[in-house]
Structure 1
Amino acid sequence: MTIQAELAAIKTKAEMNNTREMQQLAFSCIDLTTLNATDTISHVKAFTDRVNDFANDYPTLQNVAAICVYPNMVRTVKEKLKVEEVAIAAVAGGFPSSMTFIETKVKEAQMAVERGAGEIDMVLPLWAFLEGDKLICREEVSTIKKAIDGAHLKVILETGALATPERIHHASMLAMESGADFIKTSTGKMNPAATPEAAIVMCHAIKEFWIKTGKQIGFKPAGGISTTPEAMLYLSIVKEILGEEWLTPKLFRIGASRLANNLLGNLLGDEIKYF
């Protein structure tokens, strides 16, 4: 079956999956993200406070999975966050370009973990991958994974730059074999960002790796996902290829900011601007 044929079939399932239960699940899998050059300490504090207040304001709904920020804002989130079940994630390792020294990448990731991050989102060094130097890619992922001492590692493939299914599959396998706990589509800083086609390729790679090793790797689409139907499509891709076992924040995340408000609006039947 071609990717387009598979996508067409999954789109039909996604329409049926657009239920309140699935919308709530999608919300609980969000990495609530603020990654702007204008992020200030006061903004990040206010951003974190919305997560703190969520249980009181919406007691029947499950909170988001994580807050994702730049490394220098991790300590602010750590000091402010009161909700134990919400993880702290940081982009690190020269995000979003990965165009810096491995020593700098390692130190930045370590410092983010020391300041409170339990998850690190790093970018696969595209410059090396596109040059055909897979050894550098493997060394960077494995070195950073070792350096962050038990924190979860999400490896961003930047699938829009990889362009072909073959490259996306190869990068997915390389990242997982090198120690990634999650593979993630995009930084959200270049176009195209997340696409359903890339998600299908990545989920098949995760399934292949799982069959080969018995290890379950998580999947995170990110970049440009803002509407409820889009979220339902990505959940349906995971459900159809990997199974319902993957439909949990432990193995599925959505990197988003606007999506959280849109899902809340659908769940509550009103326009919501909470985050």
Structure 2
Amino acid sequence: MSPRNPGTTLDLEWISKVRVNTQAVLKRAQFIQRQKIPKKQWQAAWLLKAATLIDLTTLAGDDTSSNVHRLCLKAIQPVRYDLLKKLDMHDKGVTTAAVCVYPSRVTDAVGALKAADSSLPVASVATGFPAGQTPLETRLQEVRIAVSDGATEIDIVINRMLAITGQWEAMYDEIRQFREACGPAHMKTILAVGELGSFTNVYRASMVAMMAGSDFIKTSTGKEAVNATYPVAIVMVRAIRDYFMSTGHKIYHQVTGQYAAYHELPMA
């Protein structure tokens, strides 16, 4: 596990002065996307690394204990043994980063992993995922229940209305309360970037979330019309770098697609 982010006091002056250069971000994204893709053994190495950074996830309305159990077994061995053998990685303990489920399925995941003698962490979405529109006390209680049931990582979602309308102090206060409710569990803050309206808002929401104590910031729930994009990822990583330069605390960035979430290295 990475060190916790203690957070800082909210710096509204910093937040208010932020202006993101859209054209510069788009140009940088185009440059990155033009880079050559590694081939042969280097491509295999990157793909294998990617497998170890996935939060293998099921967030379906028809989730049951049996499909959560199957998910856990897949997370313990995400790559076929014969392929790992060819890469001489069969004895290196290759697993995904975590298993991610709804709060009501945390006990199923914890039980399945324990039965398999695996220490793989269980992550749980919370705080009214994916919309974040339930009452604050309900969202806080959902976090507490997930942690009590054994989740060691909590994915919270921000109240997008607060970000869209610039109520940064209220957003900071909510996230601080979620952080306290997480207790020892790491907290990932989902920004739902497709609903924030601008790169400047994405940067501001990222910074407020980190100041409030988020250990990870995450692009999206996978449920919005627009989720992770290269430009948005660049803006979030730049915010992570700025936060590190200001505080010395490394925050991790997570990119969410429709079916999986990928941990990325911290930007320093």
Name the TM-score class by shorter chain: 0.7 to 0.9
Bigger mean CA offset, 125-134 vs 145-154:
125-134
- State how far apart, in whole Å, the 1-side matches of 2:220 and 2:195 are: 9
- State how far apart, in whole Å, the 1-side matches of 2:29 and 2:136 are: 37
Maintained 8 Å contact 1:152/1:181: yes
Structure 1 counterpart SS, 2:104? helix
Structure 1 partner of 2:96? 64
Match of 1:170 among 197, 201, 204: 204
Match of 1:37 among 36, 57, 61: 61
Match of 2:147 among 101, 108, 113: 113
Bigger mean CA offset, 76-85 vs 87-96:
76-85
Structure 2 partner of 1:104? 138
Structure 2 counterpart SS, 1:206? helix
Unaligned stretches of 5+ residues in structure 1: 244-275
Bigger mean CA offset, 44-53 vs 210-219:
44-53
Query: What do the CA deviations read for 1:174-220 (whole angstroms, capped 9, x no partner)?
Result: 00000100000000111111111110000000000000000000000
Match of 1:77 among 88, 95, 109: 109
Asked if 1:217 is matched to 2:241, the reply is: no
Structure 1 counterpart SS, 2:35? helix
- State how far apart, in whole Å, the 2-side matches of 1:54 and 1:225 are: 14
- State how far apart, in whole Å, the 2-side matches of 1:3 and 1:225 are: 26
- State how far apart, in whole Å, the 2-side matches of 1:224 and 1:185 are: 12
- State how far apart, in whole Å, the 1-side matches of 2:78 and 2:228 are: 27
Query: What do the CA deviations read for 1:70-102 (whole angstroms, capped 9, x no partner)?
Result: 000000000110354421000001100000111
Instruction: Output aligned runs, 1:220-259, within 5 Å.
Output: 220-224=254-258, 242=267
Asked if 1:201 is matched to 2:231, the reply is: no
Unaligned stretches of 5+ residues in structure 2: 1-22, 85-89
Asked if 1:27 is matched to 2:76, the reply is: no
CA-atom RMSD in angstroms: 2.3
Maintained 8 Å contact 1:206/1:217: yes
Counterpart residue type for residue 23 of structure 1: L
- State how far apart, in whole Å, the 2-side matches of 1:191 and 1:83 are: 38
Structure 1 counterpart SS, 2:34? helix
- State how far apart, in whole Å, the 2-side matches of 1:199 and 1:208 are: 14
TM-score normalized by structure 2?
Answer: 0.80
Structure 2 partner of 1:145? 179
- State how far apart, in whole Å, the 2-side matches of 1:145 and 1:164 are: 26
Q: 1:152 to 1:21 in 2, by over 3 A?
A: same
Counterpart residue type for residue 210 of structure 2: M
Structure 1 partner of 2:73? 49
- State how far apart, in whole Å, the 1-side matches of 2:126 and 2:65 are: 18
State the Cα distance separating 1:55 from its structure 2 match: 8.0
- State how far apart, in whole Å, the 1-side matches of 2:112 and 2:154 are: 19
Structure 2 counterpart SS, 1:179? coil
Q: 1:40 to 1:4 in 2, by over 3 A?
A: same
Maintained 8 Å contact 1:93/1:106: yes
Maintained 8 Å contact 2:130/2:221: yes
Q: Percent identity?
A: 32
Maintained 8 Å contact 2:78/2:96: no
Maintained 8 Å contact 1:209/1:215: yes
Q: Which has the higher helix share?
A: 1
Maintained 8 Å contact 2:190/2:220: yes
Maintained 8 Å contact 1:65/1:85: no
